Amino acid sequence: MDDFPFMTVAMAVPLVGAALAGLTPRSQGELARRVALIASLVTLGVVIVAAFQFEPNGSRFQMVENHDWIPEFGVSYALGVDGIGFTMVLLTAALMPILLLASWRDLDEGEHAQTGPGGGTPQLYVSMMLVLEAMAIGQFAALDVFLFYVLFEAMLIPMYILIGRFGGPQRQYAAVKFLLYNLLGGLLMLVAVVWINFAGPGGEKAYYLPNLIGYDFGTETARWMFLGFFVAFAIKAPLWPFHTWLPDAMAEATPSNGVLLSGILDKVGVFAMLHLCLPLFPEAARWFAPTIVVLALISILYGAVVAIGQVDLKRLIAYASVSHFGFIVLGIFVMTSQGQTGATLYMVNHGFATAGLLLVAGFLMSRRGSRLISSYGGVQKVAPVLAGTFLFAGLANLSLPGLAPFVSEFMVLLGTFTRYPIAGYFAVLGVLLAALYVLIAYQRTMAGELTEGNEETPDLKTRELVVVTPVIVVILALGFFPKPLLDVIDPAVDRKLAQVERVDPAPEHPAGTPASVAQTAAGSAEESK
């Protein structure tokens, strides 16, 4: 199966599913949902089969497809994955069935209910989710820079529709703000992409990533091109001060679409920093690294502090994500093996941890119809399972030892301390602030006296339990045994560091490989239990 086009199939299945779901009769919303769920499960199956074909220590890019697309401009349809890209493809495919199942009743109840002839249909809703999945997989696998740019921009369309058509009361404002911010980033990226055609090696494969890696664009040119790419990715991530679109978008989106934003779409930004910025412009990446580390620290602390003061539960989770993305960017640009491996693992762990917290919060809000934290209180007395899963997801987001985010955050901090010790101390403060906003949110919503209006709050239903169970299982599994993923990530990270000509600083007490560090962290967590 070496020549089987796994990545193309993984993109095509959700697109076919989107078309079939969209063609179902308007009165058959339930059928459209089932078609979408089946398509997402088939996509997951394709990616799982591909996982058995992937060799972590094999060729740099695997499952490569390379076909002429617009040869006059040097553009090709080229797909392939390294360990980092394949990890992100797996995250996308694993989350989508969970999100489709979680959103089964999004349009039937609460602030997102669609009524009347102008209301959105389930067909459009699930179709756009599948289209977004296909485009995300394409970006994580794109080996042609121009193809990546096309998908980078096209991905905005389904997300804009999902927010603007199916969001809350301020959905139009949030959707337009989301679109304008990301279009601005895309414009800057387009300038840099066009510049490659003039400053690069040219030829029929002018944008083919393996041909560009190692090419000397010139110091000044490379720095300007790096800046164009990086700002676009920082907006997408989002990194402070480009973050302001995310709280509005997540607050108005349905909980499932909020996970799509933070768990998948935003990951494209941080992934692209590793996939494009570092290998294409290694000298520029080293030159800008100290400044980016400072921006990442501001994101960590700013996001956490603002999250503490939120009265809207969704906005609290959004600002928490800003803080978490600061950790990811920090891990990337400290340019150590522990930092970059931890950052990549953090992308996966954050996807599941945020999915757990936002989906459970969505189940809670659908019962009361309010996003305000003050509307709740004492919920654990009438819905203990709901409260318990909310607490578990919250503890995962504050990186409790034994849960998946702890391993990745520990590695990012370790990698930071080995090169930028002072930055490490500031980053640790972000960990302490995370404990505050999570525990305060739990105390105000679930603990204490039962607030009036919550007396009849039902506990989690069967469908909701089916949604949260795999999320909990993955968080526990990666918390105690992250080695399978780390074995895939480590070789790719080693290649990235070699490209930017960085080696780990020699510690006073050698910490070992990233995999051994993570296993030590997981083992320590197990002993502490």
The pair of three-digit structure tokens given for residue 315, joined into one six-digit string: 């906005």
Q: Where does the pLDDT of residue 511 fall: very low under 50, low under 70, confident under 90, or very high at 90 and above?
A: very low
- Count CA atoms closer than 13 A to 52's CA, side-chain side: 7
Per residue in 452-507, pLDDT tens?
A: 877 788 888 888 899 899 999 999 999 988 888 888 888 888 888 877 766 667 65
The pLDDT of residue 447 is: 83
The rounded mean pLDDT for the chain is 86
% of the chain at pLDDT higher than 70: 91
pLDDT at 525 over 50: no
- Residue 404 scores a pLDDT above 50: yes
- pLDDT higher than 70, residue 521: no
Q: Does 264 or 520 have the greater pLDDT score?
A: 264
- Statement: residue 103 has pLDDT above 60: yes
d(CA 324, CA 336): 19
Higher pLDDT, 271 or 506: 271
The pLDDT-based confidence of 508 (bands split at 50, 70, 90) is low
Across 208-237, average pLDDT: 88
Per-residue pLDDT, averaged over 411-426, amounts to 90
Is the pLDDT at 520 greater than 80, yes or no?
no
Q: Is 185 left (phi over 0), alpha (psi -120 to 50) or beta?
A: alpha
| pLDDT in the model for residue 138 | 93
Q: In terms of pLDDT, which residue wins out, 154 or 374?
A: 154
pLDDT at 38 over 50: yes
**Is pLDDT of 516 > 70?**
no
pLDDT at 56: 86
The answer to whether residue 172 scores a pLDDT higher than 60 is yes
Count CA atoms within 13 Å of residue 89 on its CB side: 34
Closest CA to 8 of 51, 47, 54: 47
User: Among 117-121, 152-156, 509-513, whose mean pLDDT is lowest?
Assistant: 509-513
Determine the pLDDT at residue 113. 53
**For 286-317, how does the pLDDT look when each residue is reduced to its tens digit (9 = 90+)?**
899 999 999 999 999 999 999 998 888 889 99
The dihedral formed by the CA atoms of 392, 315, 105 and 478, expressed in degrees to the nearest 10: -30
Helix (H, G, I), strand (E, B) or coil at 59: coil
